[in-house]
Amino acid sequence: MRRLGALLLAAMCLLAILPASAEEVGTSAKACVIIDEASGRVLLSHNAETTLPMASTTKVMTALLALENGDLDAPVTCSRNAFGVPGTSIYLAEGETLTLREMLYGLMMASGNDAATAIAEHIGGTVEDFCRMMTARAAELGCKNTVFLTPHGLPCEGHYTTAHDLALIAREAMTHPEFREIVGTSRATIPWEGREYDRVLNNKNKLLTTYEGATGIKTGYTKKAGRCLVFGAEREGMRIIGVVLNCSDWFNEAARLMDRAFERYEAVTMLHADESVGSIPVAHADGASVEAILTADLTGVMPKGTLPQVEIDLPDTLDAPIQAGQIIGTARLTAGGVVIAETPLVASTDVARDDFPARWLMYWRNWLGTPQA
């Protein structure tokens, strides 16, 4: 293994030890968490593993499964079952059809329970089967204490999550550009079948218009769950996702927690995409070598004042043939012994195998008239 030594952020920077665990914060929420969107690492938390109902923030998973399993342009029809769901609604009529994309706008911006049910039936066949898909997908994402029994989050005994689990679900959802677009939209219109005008959707997430850099994501409320909010923001290259559960002052508390995260942490880029970190000799290639380059910026979020290190894992030699883009190593950003971020290192060019010995043997066999095997 080759290792690049500590790279100073600034000439006079003092070493700060990275905390082994997330900072425990005081909060008016029953549970909260802030995570680094890029790595999923927990930055701030309080009761983040406590199981609680989550109201309409459930719909983050509903949207994620729709994006992973559906065609956004496919028609989705409102059934009698979807039409009859109580609570917040986009006022779908029985038999009314919208595209899946339009249903998702109604789901995430206006929190339509009717849209949630229509999507569940469209993707899962039945609401029950869709909820089983939701729970299974949560487990795949590393959620340890999450069970979904509805696609909308109306009160249901045994339907619960944790602040941390919900943040992990939101993090995965935010990898979909369509999801980011929807939850970051303040106002939109979708068709209203049988009417001369469209539905006007106003996003219930007030942070989109009151918090600098806000990126979404979803509100929720029931009497049992209290006010719940999944939220996100981006500043100076640092993206965070947060959750507050059962929090009466939800928007202000979310803003306070994000302010704290941005005040205490920063995104640090140590190496850039396509940058070379060294040259590796290639065996069986007539003395050739190949550059190891980064596939993406090596960027990590860490407490301000932390002195990071870059570690480069590469073999001493490679065997030809080598293809451009072939993974040949890893670059890691660490601090205080903790891996903050990593990115693959790939070969910059093709390197062909030198078959000179085989060609020489064939030449001598032909010259001597020796039959080839």
**Cβ–Cβ under 8 Å, residues 303 and 19:** yes
Q: What is the pLDDT of residue 8?
A: 33
pLDDT of 287 = 83
CATH class of the region 1-19+268-373 = mainly beta
Q: Which CATH number fits domain 29-248: 3.40.710.10, 3.20.20.60, 3.40.50.620, 3.40.50.1820?
A: 3.40.710.10
**What are the extents of the domains in the chain?**
1-19+268-373, 29-248
**Predicted local distance difference test score (pLDDT) of residue 207:** 98
pTM for the model stands at 0.86
Catalogue the active-site residues: 56, 59, 111
The encoded tokens of residue 167 equal 């943040």
Q: How high is the pLDDT of residue 337? A: 85
Averaged pLDDT, groups of 10, the chain, 373 residues long: 38 36 86 97 97 99 99 98 97 98 99 99 99 99 99 98 99 99 98 96 98 98 98 98 98 98 96 96 90 96 92 95 96 90 96 70 59 50
